[in-house]
Chain A
Amino acid sequence: MRVAIFIPCYVDQFYPQVGIATLELLEKYGVTVSYPENQTCCGQPMANAGFEHLAEPCNDLFIKNFSGYDYIVSPSGSCVLHIKDHLHSTSHESDSIKIRQNIFELTEFLTDILKVENVPSKFYHKVGLHQSCHGQRGLRLSQMTELIAPGFSKPEHLLRMVEGLELIQLDRKDECCGFGGTFSVSEEAVAVKMGKDRVADHIQYGAEYITASDMSCLMHLEGILKRQRSSTKVIHIAEILNQGK
């Protein structure tokens, strides 16, 4: 099984510990992981801003980096969804189709491909799980409250196996945090209000940590928590699952 990890640009630059946790976690489960070093970004920042047509060189670079692997795993539901929905190439479309089929978000890969039933991690804290929208509604990592259908949650399934971890309830368990890429700055007022409301929901139930499968949501929530001088912290789910090495 040839597995490559895709570490999204902002994780690479600002949250290297999430990349390290992802790598180490996969290795714990016996996966040999490659890291194509020329990787940059999935192209979503341009595409969501309406500049999909500028993303072609970025797409080609992605295809060059990630062709030929059985699986591509990434600690970001949003970037994975973008690749799945929008990676195209005029010159290498067959490669892009394979990548779109073989790319997995981390918790999805652990649950569906590795079929993990044991998490040897300890994390004695009260944790709130933020459902990042693209992972949840796009990749169906968890059931959404909009649908009249049985519930499930891949990230929650994994977190429940962590020793000592207490998952808190939330009033709104799948409301968007307001990050939304360029939305977070172009619609600053609403983005921040959404983030403040999300944070308040976690804090009212005593969350020591807010976790998610997307660091972008957490970056936004972290910015708000720090401005509020809150003691609640953010932590990527890979970091929790990789605790107690």
Chain B
Amino acid sequence: MAAEKTSGSPTPDHATLAEKFNKDEPRVDWHDETLWFIRKKRDKAAWQIPEWEQLRELASQIKNNVLSNLHSYLLEFEKNARDNGVHIHWASNAEEHNKIVYEIIHSAGIKHVVKSKSMLTEECQLNEYLHSKGIDVIDTDLGERIVQLAGEPPSHIVLPCIHWKKEEIGDLFSLHLGTPEGNNDPQFLTTAARLHLRQHFMTSRLAITGVNFAVAETGEVVVCTNEGNADLGVQLADVHIACMGIEKIIPKRKHLGIFLRLLARSATGQPITTYSSHFRRPREGQVMHIVLVDNGRSDRLASADFRNALKCIRCGACMNTCPVYRRSGGHSYHYAIAGPIGAILAPGLDMKKHADLPFASTLCGSCSHVCPVKIDIHDQLYKWRQVLTQNDHAGPMKKASMQGMAKVLSTPSLYASAGSVFRWLLDNLPFIINNRLNPWYRQREMPEPPAKSFNKWYSENRKKNE
């Protein structure tokens, strides 16, 4: 278990942020439908692969193998990457990662960098760090650039601006990129973004990318994008920095086929991402760095209950399928990675700050079954709840009520009288229960109290016959 770290200023919890999101019901409907559409696309794509479930099992087993042998795979990767002429850096946490990246940028005398999508750099809050050091970072993934212009974090790991409507993007572009007011045509806006980003690609001497897969056997990294922005950035830059979590390793290049088939289908229902770019060695005159980041992953690896969350390939399928995520929005999770996977990753980094997230679920289990690498997400949510409570993150009210409930439910006589008192109250003094303080009653009626419990009925009608 990761040691608990100190938290920053208190953020409203998931329930509060979700309630705010739900103030605009038509927007919730739109958000839900948009993501459900992607879930359906995923289903359609997966059904075209008869061996889909075998692929999931294979991917899961390969990842299990990686996690069990991570040490040797990392060393193998490091050696092969160095032999390819790549500079390798190791960072034990986010702060070290950010410093390493800054040092590379600074020593090259560079002020403007382009960055393709990387959830690791979001996790480490690299943009904020570099900004504080006077470095301009331009996110080149279109969705990420949109949220960056808006001054927001991404709300989804694959679809960062899925919560934005095209009309709002038109307004945003009009403000920041000078597009004509009221022009919301997606084709037009994309072209405007393209021209805007192209200037940055052409003038940036340094490109940062994330890593989807790092192949131990060859020392190469693979980056998947739909826009080709990772390639364009790297090919035009003198310096390439690839940032990766240490769990991104796969043993051999032949394993890539399994993951690439699963990744895009799970993420968006595409057969494959438009660009699957392999970066093996720097081109002539270019410098290439890879930063390998731990940031709590080793602690996670040591935990039998939570280690397999490290199998995640960041496809976002668990978010698209999650009925809670779809109706609460990515920002309600107040962490770089939202949704069910974020809710099991975040408490590992800061238990106190993210103590609410494992409770932002009905434990319906849909997430675990769309997951292409078979992470037992909903079981981990349940286990995190136990860990959080044991570590005193439950709150005194909840603790007291649970202790009371446990007492009543383990004492048949108390249970019978509590039940009849409650039914009597509902029947005779409903205002004691049906009021604004009862969150059940705000938008739902209470069940109608029957005259007697089943237990009572049984003793009156059946017991004599026995």
Q: Which positions in A face B, CB cutoff 8 Å?
A: 7, 9, 11-20, 23, 35, 37-41, 43, 45-55, 57-58, 60-61, 133-134, 137-138, 144-149, 172, 174-176, 178-195, 197, 219-220, 222-224, 226-227
B402 at the interface (CB under 8 A from A): yes
Most buried by A among B50, B415, B423: B415
Verify B409–A43 contact, CB threshold 8 A: yes
How far, in Å, is B323 (CB) from chain A's closest CB? 5
How far, in Å, is B95 (CB) from chain A's closest CB? 31
Chain B residues near A12 (CB-CB < 8 A): 419, 453-455
Verify B388–A50 contact, CB threshold 8 A: yes
Chain B residues near A222 (CB-CB < 8 A): 445, 447
Say whether chain B's binding surface is mostly helix, strand, loop, or mixed: helix
Verify B388–A138 contact, CB threshold 8 A: no
Verify B442–A48 contact, CB threshold 8 A: no
Chain A residues near B450 (CB-CB < 8 A): 14-17
Residue of A nearest to B390 (CB): A53
Q: Which positions in B face A, CB cutoff 8 Å?
A: 14-15, 18-19, 21-22, 25, 28, 32, 36, 43, 46-47, 49-50, 52-53, 321, 323-324, 327-328, 358-366, 368-370, 382, 385-386, 388-390, 394, 398-399, 402-403, 405-412, 415, 419, 422-423, 439-440, 442-450, 452-459, 462-463
Chain B residues near A55 (CB-CB < 8 A): 406
How far, in Å, is B461 (CB) from chain A's closest CB? 9
- A4, B456: Cα distance in complex, Å: 17
12 contacts between A and B (CB under 8 A): A12-B419, A13-B423, A35-B462, A46-B405, A51-B399, A133-B362, A144-B369, A176-B366, A180-B364, A194-B323, A197-B327, A226-B445
| Contacts A14-B447, A45-B405, A186-B15 given; does A178 touch B323 at CB 8 Å | yes
Residue of A nearest to B355 (CB): A50
Chain B residues near A219 (CB-CB < 8 A): 447
How far, in Å, is B258 (CB) from chain A's closest CB? 15
How far, in Å, is A133 (CB) from chain B's closest CB? 4
- A182, B360: Cα distance in complex, Å: 10
Verify B323–A14 contact, CB threshold 8 A: no
How far, in Å, is A147 (CB) from chain B's closest CB? 6
| Contacts A14-B449, A49-B398, A50-B394 given; does A137 touch B454 at CB 8 Å | no
Chain B residues near A187 (CB-CB < 8 A): 14-15, 18, 324, 359-360
| Contacts A185-B439, A227-B444, A227-B445 given; does A58 touch B409 at CB 8 Å | yes
Find A137's partner among B15, B28, B366 (CB 8 Å cutoff). Answer: B366
How far, in Å, is B342 (CB) from chain A's closest CB? 16
When A and B form their complex, which 5 residue pairs have the shortest distance between CB atoms, in order from nearest? A223-B444, A180-B362, A19-B454, A50-B389, A57-B410
Most buried by A among B49, B444, B453: B444
Chain A residues near B453 (CB-CB < 8 A): 12-13, 16
Verify B403–A54 contact, CB threshold 8 A: yes
How far, in Å, is B454 (CB) from chain A's closest CB? 4
Verify A176–B364 contact, CB threshold 8 A: yes
Verify B365–A133 contact, CB threshold 8 A: yes
Verify A183–B366 contact, CB threshold 8 A: no
How far, in Å, is B455 (CB) from chain A's closest CB? 6
Residue of B nearest to A38 (CB): B412
- A50, B358: Cα distance in complex, Å: 10
- A16, B363: Cα distance in complex, Å: 26
Verify A186–B443 contact, CB threshold 8 A: no
Verify B18–A189 contact, CB threshold 8 A: yes
Find A35's partner among B32, B323, B446, B458 (CB 8 Å cutoff). Answer: B458
Verify A149–B53 contact, CB threshold 8 A: yes
Residue of B nearest to A172 (CB): B36
Find A193's partner among B25, B364, B389, B442 (CB 8 Å cutoff). Answer: B25
Chain B residues near A178 (CB-CB < 8 A): 323, 362
